[in-house]
Structure 1
Amino acid sequence: MAKTIFVNLPVSDLAASTAFYEAIGCVRNPQFSDANAASMVWSDTITFQLLTRDFFAGFISRDIPDPHKTCQVLLALSHDSREDVDKVIEAGTAAGGNAGIRETMDMGWLYNRAIEDPDGHVFEIAWMDPTGMPDSHG
């Protein structure tokens, strides 16, 4: 089995969150989805497990912070072009996301925009051309 990552995220409204993740390009895997969870496949090796807050709480013994007030992680998703980045941001905004959290980062070789999902989890949607990176060696 390839090394994979399953990002477990607590959500307040499973249906709204599922719609947002579908809008940004994920596909719901019904085999691992039910009334408490939606398994949202981003790629062959990355899956977002959206868990209702009560269900999520059953896996940990800590408080669940409000991502609208705190930020513990930035999740970055790469795309093939600047246009793809803009399309994802537009689709995510139309599906309840908030793209007004910071300015667009455009370094020429790197184009990066940020969006919050409906629960406040922050995603960076990025395109990068490594051949355009400045030489840091000299």
Structure 2
Amino acid sequence: MPKMIYISLPVTDLKASMTFYEALGFSNQPRFTDATAACMAWSEAINVMLLTHAKWRTFTTRPIPPPTSSEVALNLSCDSREAVDAMSDAAAANGGTADINPPQEHGFMYGRDMADPEGHILGAMWMDPAGIPSNDQGP
């Protein structure tokens, strides 16, 4: 079996969250979707599980953090700077918040952070590996 990652996120409005992630380019995996959870695929190996609060509580008794907190930022690679901007625009048009932090411009790397409707942080980023500055300083 290939190595995969399933990122679970608690959500209050499953349908709105599914719409948001579909607008960013994720695809719903109906085989793993029901009234309490939705599997949204970013790639063959990366999936986001959107879980209603009731479903989330079957996995842990730890409190669900408020939308204003930051526990983790999920960074998603894009094919171009334009794709980064398009993802940010799609986030803002589908219930999310674009540019929750200033855009990051490093020449070889460009990124913009957004929040989904539940406040989970996503970063759209593009990078040109050929443009990464060398680190002649060593570790």
TM bracket (short chain): over 0.9
Equivalent positions of 1:29-108 (< 5 A) are 29-66=29-66, 68-108=67-107
Partner amino acid, structure 1, of 2:14 = L
Query: How many aligned positions are there?
Result: 137
Q: In angstroms, what is the RMSD of aligned CA positions?
A: 0.9
Structure 2 residues without counterparts, runs of 5 or longer: none
Structure 1 residues without counterparts, runs of 5 or longer: none
Partners of 2:132 and 2:31 in 1: CA distance: 41
Q: CA deviation at 1:100?
A: 3.4
Partners of 2:31 and 2:106 in 1: CA distance: 41
Partners of 2:81 and 2:130 in 1: CA distance: 15
Q: TM-score, normalised by structure 1?
A: 0.96
Partners of 1:22 and 1:46 in 2: CA distance: 14
Secondary structure of 2:101's counterpart equals: coil
Match of 1:114 in 2: 113
Match of 2:14 in 1: 14
Deviations 1:117-136 (A, max 9, x none): 00000011000011111122
Partner amino acid, structure 2, of 1:100 = D
Partners of 2:44 and 2:79 in 1: CA distance: 16
After TM superposition, which residue ranges in structure 1, 4 or more long, deviate above 6 angstroms? none
Partners of 2:83 and 2:118 in 1: CA distance: 23
